[in-house]
Amino acid sequence: MLMVETVVQIFAQMAGGALTSVGTGVGQAVSDLVRERFATDERGRSAVQAVDDQPGSPEAAASLRSVLRAELEADPEFARKISAALEEPPPAASWRSASGSITIDGTTMRGKQTIALGPVTFHNTRNVRLSLVGAALVFLALVIWGIYGGARLVTGGDPGEERAVTALSAADLRQVIPGPGSLPAKWTRPKPPEHVMNRKAPGLVTAESVGYLMGDPDAEMSIIAAGFTDAGKASDFLRAVKKSNDPDGQAEKKGISVPMPKIGDELWAVTEPASSMYSGGAYLALRVGTVLVTIHGDDTDDQAFSTSRLEVLARMMAERAQQAQNGQAPTAYVRDA
């Protein structure tokens, strides 16, 4: 079935950062339809995740091809929606929102900031970032090497639904990490998510990290999701990270504290001016139940890693962490950042 093959190619090209067979808007529309369809289907979710993680794998493509063919043959209406999405690109829009999504259009910021993680200094170059992204899980001074209201923008969950607080397995935590299909199409992922572990962090069960290039070779963004045995241990770790970054508690007075709306259970964000040795950036630590998330983004000469971008990424990750603890497949995503 040609439609099945086209959809599989779209997923593989989006995961590899090279969507060429159809327009980016078409590819995103198709991706959204398929991900929504498989949100409650374990086999389908696994097939999509496999392509996200290994876009060049024939086995991953074959698995996705199999489940797609079965769904399209069983449901003509689903097939009609996919066909329509392939034929007509969605109209351009600015500042739009969708279920489980965040959208930013036309974001351009200027400025220079940088971030020091307490006693650990990040050299904001691609090679160092990809190898030291695990350092965001530093427990005080330990560096892990070799790893790399208003309108609701995140609308994936009912504001009144129960918010479970659950320790996640390694497999569940990995689902919290966003794949290329959950981030803007122009962003690329140099390598799949990796496992990171800091055995000296009390209560830490497992952690996953991933790095992305935000459409610019020098604009890097890294995310780490860490799962703890309970919310208290996750909260303790966030306080340790905060103390490591800001031992004298003067971040606000120094002008590097980033005011943010309430997202998740706890949140802390900072920026600093660029120095002669490091490019600028912004750093955020966020706790949702038993899950701690850190996000670090680079500035470039042309564009700062804006606090608005940091906020929407935080909202996406908070939603994904909560969905996982609720026993749901994480589906929140960011578009066109």
DSSP 113-157: -B--BTTB----SHHHHHHHGGGGG-STT----SB---S-S--SS
User: Above 50 in pLDDT, residue 154?
Assistant: no
User: Above 60 in pLDDT, residue 20?
Assistant: no
Q: How confident is the model at residue 100 (pLDDT cuts 50, 70, 90)?
A: very low
The number of domains in the chain is 2
pLDDT (0 to 100) of residue 3? 79
Q: In what order do the strands lie in the sheet with 281-288?
A: 194-196, 204-213, 220-228, 291-298, 281-288, 266-272
In a domain, 111, yes or no: no
Q: What is the pLDDT of residues 189-223, one digit of tens each?
A: 988 898 886 556 889 998 999 999 987 766 888 99
Highest mean pLDDT among 48-57, 224-233, 325-334: 224-233
In a domain, 115, yes or no: no
- Same domain, yes or no: 185 and 318: yes
Among 43, 73, 91, give the residue marking a domain's end: 91
Q: Residues 53-81: what's their mean pLDDT?
A: 86
In a domain, 202, yes or no: yes
pLDDT (0 to 100) of residue 246? 78
User: Could you tell me the residue range of the domain that residue 305 belongs to?
Assistant: 126-335
pLDDT (0 to 100) of residue 111? 34
In a domain, 108, yes or no: no
Q: Residues 128-150: what's their mean pLDDT?
A: 32
- Same domain, yes or no: 286 and 144: yes
Among 91, 109, 136, give the residue marking a domain's end: 91
7/168: higher pLDDT: 168
Q: Residues 165-184: what's their mean pLDDT?
A: 91
d(CA 258, CA 189): 27
Q: Are 10 and 52 in contact (CB under 8 A)?
A: no
Q: Residues 30-45: what's their mean pLDDT?
A: 82
pLDDT (0 to 100) of residue 167? 94
Q: Residues 288-307: what's their mean pLDDT?
A: 84
pLDDT (0 to 100) of residue 271? 81
- Same domain, yes or no: 45 and 130: no
* Residue 70: partners with Cβ closer than 8 Å, 6 or more residues away: none
User: Above 90 in pLDDT, residue 336?
Assistant: no
Q: What is the average pLDDT value for the chain, to the nearest integer? A: 73
Q: What is the pLDDT of residues 226-244, one digit of tens each?
A: 999 999 999 999 998 888 8
Q: Classify strands 333-335 and 204-213 as parallel, antiparallel or unpaired.
A: unpaired
Q: How confident is the model at residue 120 (pLDDT cuts 50, 70, 90)?
A: very low
pLDDT (0 to 100) of residue 149? 28
- Choose the weakest-confidence range: 17-31, 190-204, 266-280: 17-31
330/106: higher pLDDT: 330
- Same domain, yes or no: 82 and 151: no
User: Above 80 in pLDDT, residue 144?
Assistant: no
pLDDT (0 to 100) of residue 198? 59
pLDDT (0 to 100) of residue 88? 54
- Same domain, yes or no: 171 and 262: yes
Q: Are 239 and 267 in contact (CB under 8 A)?
A: no
pLDDT (0 to 100) of residue 199? 59
- Exposure string of 256-266, with b = 16+ CB inside 10 Å and e = fewer, is bebebeebbbb
- Same domain, yes or no: 317 and 244: yes
pLDDT (0 to 100) of residue 278? 62
In a domain, 105, yes or no: no
pLDDT (0 to 100) of residue 172? 92
In a domain, 294, yes or no: yes
Written as one string, the DSSP assignment of 234-284 is HHHHHHHHHHHH-TTS-HHHHT-B------SSEEEEEEE---SSS--EEEE
List the CATH number of the domain containing 224. 3.40.1000
pLDDT (0 to 100) of residue 277? 61
In a domain, 36, yes or no: yes
- Same domain, yes or no: 78 and 152: no
- Same domain, yes or no: 81 and 142: no
User: Above 70 in pLDDT, residue 126?
Assistant: no
Phi, psi of 28 (to 5 degrees): -65, -40
In a domain, 119, yes or no: no
- Choose the weakest-confidence range: 172-181, 241-250, 261-270: 241-250
Written as one string, the DSSP assignment of 69-81 is HHHHHH-HHHHHH
- 118 Rama sector, left if φ>0, alpha if ψ -120 to 50, beta otherwise: left
- Same domain, yes or no: 176 and 275: yes
- Same domain, yes or no: 172 and 320: yes
- Same domain, yes or no: 144 and 19: no
